[in-house]
Amino acid sequence: MSRNPREESVAVIGSGVSGLITAYTLIRDGFENVEILTKDAHVGGIWARDRIYPGLFLNNVHGEYRLSPLKMPPPVSGGDRLSGYDMNKYFETFASQFLEGKIQFNLDVHNIRRPASGQGWLLDISDLKSGIQETREYARLVMCTGGSSNPRIPKELSPEAAAAAGFKGLVMHTVDFARKIDVLLAHAAPAESGPDTPSVVVIGGGKSAQDVCAYLANEGKKVTLVCHNLDPFTAGPKPLPEFLRKSRLLSLFSPHIHLRTASERFLHTTWVGKKIVDFMWNGLADSSFKAMNIPADSPLRNTVSPFWHVRVNDEGVPRPNGFHPLAVAGKIEVLSPAHVAGFSEDGGSVSLEDGRAVRASVLVLATGYTSSWSPLFEENTIEELGLKPHLAQPNPEHHWDYTTLSDAPPLHPDAKKWSFSLYRGLVPAKNIHRRDFAVNGACISLNNGYTVEVASHWISSYFLSDPMRIAQTPEEAFKETERDAAWLKRRYPEVPTALNASLTGYLAFWTWPQHVDDLLEDMGLPVMRGGGNGLTWPFHVIDLKEIEHLKEERDAKRAEISS
């Protein structure tokens, strides 16, 4: 007789938002032995207390980041934007209120593998405080480690390359920014220094790079941003109304792998619809530039497209101490398009590809991250699980005749070469039949809290072997993930998703409501929960109340099937 899965042990690796809600959902579903293991000293993941810093604010366009069991208090700043401190306090409150005694801190998990029996998981664990090492066995495993902890450092810009070139300044990655603020400030020159005075040079155009630049400029330091292009953003003279930013409207203007409604089919498969979609996205970008008073010839306009990318920040109402106003005011020098090729021979500069040299006292690398999974697994296991990128296999059957995708930018070379097989962004295709391993938090979404909460219920149903609309064999799952991979290359050709699948295992982003509906449909639950009729549904505000009773819905569904 098979054992009741609720009686078997589950290890959740990671204590960010996905780890917290996954453990919470499993425990409510009756799993008796759930443990959260984390290398960190505090909960919160990227919002942990030792990773937040002054000037860090929530920047997602949806404007919300919480879970249904706990309401988010108003921002402590009194404004309308949640700060890093607000986020940290929220997740610490969630952990203390719902997961007391379930989280084990300062544990380095590594060498994850199958035991000799082939059933369950062995984890080697080192206590970072006591130094004690042990091996533990669990029946099931959920990876919630995210993809923003292992820095990607280009070889030509590494501390080793700096030392070899005789560079006398400091080299650091933004992952260490909160811990090294005082050191950074000590190395940074005042903004009023002369043109020959070295600057803090920040490499990258994303949110982390912009946050570092804004912080240094507000501290009166000399700072230069160098990047190929910058993140696009949304901004306006007043906050967007909730029926625009917190509804399905923006997702309606972004194509999904399948088009569920007549409105989506009209917008994305007709030329009239394409013109409407183009007008909306171009208007959004232009109005945001205008709100920030960015001149037509400014390098700040050298952004990726908000339609074709997943790097979009919400700036809201412009703030004088924000990145863009500071750059427009000349307090942040922006060199874009530009690329740092390496360190100069003078020991005090970095060289650009076009031959220019930029004097630098500090080099801050906002160059992204690598997968958090590779260091945790035994090499054979990560291969057997299917948690490594594999060579792409183009299939002419994978085709979408969407007019809105007719003028796509070129496919990134790494996106062309590599694919990844993570079913629904939650389970490796190779392991889908075993129901003992899952991932949460590897999907890029504009409403991360809502998305990972629904995903946690999907994972729990999967572990419980509930009837679900999912692939039953690795072969079926692989066929579906290959189609998903082809779709992501078509929809976001500039994003090489396979290179950091612990962060970009799936890209829902603008179409996160459609992706969540797919997960709900897998569980046999109602979709498009915001309500409304054929004309009004895109404007209904999406609220977490819609999913606060998913457990009860799943219980009722299970009882209905078994009766």
Tokens at 435, concatenated: 């129901």
Is 167 inside a domain boundary?
A: no
Is 478 inside a domain boundary?
A: yes
Domain count, the chain: 1
Is 437 inside a domain boundary?
A: yes
pLDDT for position 495: 93
pLDDT in tens, the chain (563 residues): 468 999 999 999 999 999 999 999 999 999 999 999 999 999 999 999 999 888 888 876 556 789 999 999 888 866 678 888 999 999 999 999 999 999 999 999 999 999 999 999 999 999 999 999 999 999 999 999 998 889 999 999 999 999 999 999 999 999 999 999 999 999 999 998 888 899 999 999 999 999 999 999 999 999 999 999 999 999 999 887 888 888 999 999 999 999 999 999 999 999 999 999 999 999 999 999 999 999 999 999 999 999 999 989 988 889 999 999 999 999 999 999 999 999 999 999 999 999 999 999 999 999 999 999 989 999 899 999 999 999 998 888 899 999 999 999 999 999 999 999 999 999 999 999 999 999 999 999 999 999 999 999 999 999 999 999 999 999 999 999 999 999 999 999 999 988 888 888 899 999 999 999 999 999 999 999 988 877 788 999 899 999 999 999 999 999 998 87
Helix or strand holding residue 423 (H, E):
strand 422-423
Residue matched to tokens 């064999």: 473
Residues of the domain holding 486? 5-150+370-562
Is 180 inside a domain boundary?
A: no
Is 165 inside a domain boundary?
A: no
Residue 472, burial from CB neighbour count under 10 angstroms (0-12, 13-18, 19+)? exposed
- The reported pTM is 0.95
Helix or strand holding residue 14 (H, E):
none
> Sheet containing 437-439: which strands, arranged edge to edge?
103-104, 33-37, 9-13, 140-143, 437-439
Report the phi/psi class of residue 531: left, alpha or beta, with left for phi > 0 and alpha for psi in -120 to 50.
left
Cα–Cα distance for residue pair 329/521, rounded to 1 Å: 50
Residue matched to tokens 């897998």: 522
Task: Give first-to-last CA distance, the chain, whole Å.
Answer: 21
Is 134 inside a domain boundary?
A: yes
DSSP state of 332: S
> The domain that contains 414 carries what CATH number?
3.50.50.60
Provide Rg for the chain, Cα atoms.
24
Is 157 inside a domain boundary?
A: no
pLDDT for position 1: 44
Is 140 inside a domain boundary?
A: yes
Counted residue by residue, the chain has a size of 563
